[in-house]
Structure 1
Amino acid sequence: MIWMLLILLLPLVALLYRPVWFRPETNQQSEENLRLYQERTDEVKNSDLNDAEQAALQLELDREFLASADARQSSADKTSGSWLMLGSVAVIALLGSMLLYSFWGSDNALRASALLDKGEQVELTMPERQELIQRLAAEAQHDPDHLEWAYLNARLLSASGEYRRATEAFASILDALPDDASADRAATLTLMAEAQFFAADQQADESTYALLDEALTLNPQSRQTLGMAGILAFELGKHERAISHWKALWQGLPEGPESQVLAQGIHRAAEQLESQEITVDLSWLERVGLTIAVDITAEARAAVAPDDLVFVLAKAVTGPPMPLAVQRLTVADLPTQVTLTDAQAMAPGMTISGFDQLTLIARVSRTGQPTAQPGDWQDERSPVSNRDTDVQTLTIQTRVN
């Protein structure tokens, strides 16, 4: 930064330096004046004038010589002053440029970025965290069009336990976000609700739940929002809403500790409703598993290699095109029987429990890819209920063209 400022100051220095550099040569002028003074003095002495007249002329010569000497001294003083002014202006310009850069430039953003980078490597000290919060807030105020600074500031405030300030920061971000930024608005609403919840000593209230409800309208599949909405709904006595939120979350989770804990919460909410003589159907809590018998015809077997891959997969009849569960075999393994469950989900939230109607496919892949390619052999069945307990049969017999 300093080198750039110095480069920018070069034209200014050159402009101020020119009058000093291109001044008349006063030393040569002084020597010439002294020579003329001595010649005229000699002429006066050798003249035929009487002593009084010579004295008068000599006095006049002395006055002229002294006057020229004073002028030269004044010129030298002005030159010295020019050098002083040049140095002063250069220093003032340099300091002013640095101050303006610090105020209007990127110094604050660079320091904030450096602290963020350091925070990814080691834990920041308390003074560093406070400095980072202040710099992020300053940058967010200085450049309100870049919401990333405001978002980082709000997240840091929340992580530091300053939940009320974090809530206000998230509210400001929400006001600045366009209405069509659904994903960003949903995430901001969820974070704002979380900060507001902790600011209230983890006491549920209707306003916080309303934020989560609005977030789910924008993004119904958000796991974080669904989980927190279920907790607040349960605390507010909205047990049916709590089960609805937790059901959507549970169906997107594979079998494991997290889904088991969630199922316990769902059962507690159901018990509260049953105590009010409200019947609750929790049959969907039973994990689905489709059993499939996979075989291949002699014609298809003759057209493929024993080590060619066989993909057995389930897809939603209406929904995303990606498989919900996949199991991989080889042609040499056939015939065999497999079971597709939520544990084989390809992505979080995309399980066979979450879609009532499925398409089952068994495919020999000549390229090793699960998507159908010309030359592959396959068989499929659709629609199949995800609750069907019968053994489904797939016999690979159709060539893909």
Structure 2
Amino acid sequence: MIDFWLPAGLLLLTALAFLLIPVLRIRKLQAEEDRTALNVTLYQERLQELEVQRQACVLDDAQLQAGRAEAARELLDDTEGVQRRSSVLGGKIPLISALLVPVLGVALYLHWGAIDQVEQTRQMAAAQPQSIEEMTARLEQTVKQQPDSAEAWYFLGRTYMAQERASDATKAFERAVEIAGRAPELLGQWAQALYFAEGKQWNEQLQALTDEALKADPQEVTSLGLLGIAAYESQRYADAVRYWERLVAVLPEQDPSRAAIVGGIERARQQMGEGEQSSAATAPSAKVHALEVNVSLSPEVQKNVQPDDAVFVFARALSGPPMPLAVKRLKVSDLPVQVSLSDVDAMMPELKISRFDQVQLVARVSRAGNATQGEWTGKTGPVANTARDVQALLIDSRDGQAQ
């Protein structure tokens, strides 16, 4: 913390200078006043001597007046340039203040200052997190130390979403809204977390949140994307096209998620029976390739799972961030099944399959419905993001032991 306390110490020294310099000047003036007083005393003694000599008839009247004039002239010469001043405060009060300033300054800062935040910022800057789990732990520690930091809650929610912990993300975004107010972006993120936490089931609360976000900002991208996804999942393809077209219209041309949204529009139009027609709002069009994955259970695993156990199928970058790029949630009773993973299934707009040349495919069985930890798992890869063949993904290992 020397990089903090050194500037703080310099500021304290500057404050002390304003107190101590006047004290030193007062002492100098006091010395000058003492010297002047001494000169006046000598002058008075000189006058007495002259008067004694006059009474003794040693000096006549003329000599007496000349002696008095000479003594006065010497007094004026000795006191020339000296200004008599008096200190209202005196010397003790500034000295006491000079001692109290650093003590009170440190005490007040320790009480009302932000030393914990300074130390935390230094620690985070000194060592960057090496994994999503480490980042999550740091953000959780941050919100404990700064429970009123809307920014910390927001980023914690985003990190939870990257870990497929939608329920935890919902609480984080809700807390951010309580602190920072009902900003459209926060409402959109909160609604998105709720949607995935509720198993992609639309409800009145989600509708209210997205309506409020779009009323405040008709171009709020998270809400538009979420409404499109929800409409597509419920086979309301016309609504999906409408929301995604609005989204594409506000996305910059260089935005990496634009192509994925355009691909989603084309797929929705195909479902509507309109083929691959593209409207002017979606031009130039782009195809989004999907990885086809056949998910199944080994005989041993089949004996140890229950039909309602959750199954998470996801793709993650072979070399890159550990968080999933695309996710599907199923149940054991659905297996074996063939699923498609593409940019449309991405949890975060900045993390898409199309942005990574090779991915790893993972499936996990979790009785508790936890996407990050379960009982059984299976992996395969590396797989090119442009692979056309159906990829076989067998769940055959205890979670934590798959190779």
TM-score, normalization by structure 2: 0.39
Larger Rg over CA atoms: 1
TM-score, normalization by structure 1: 0.39
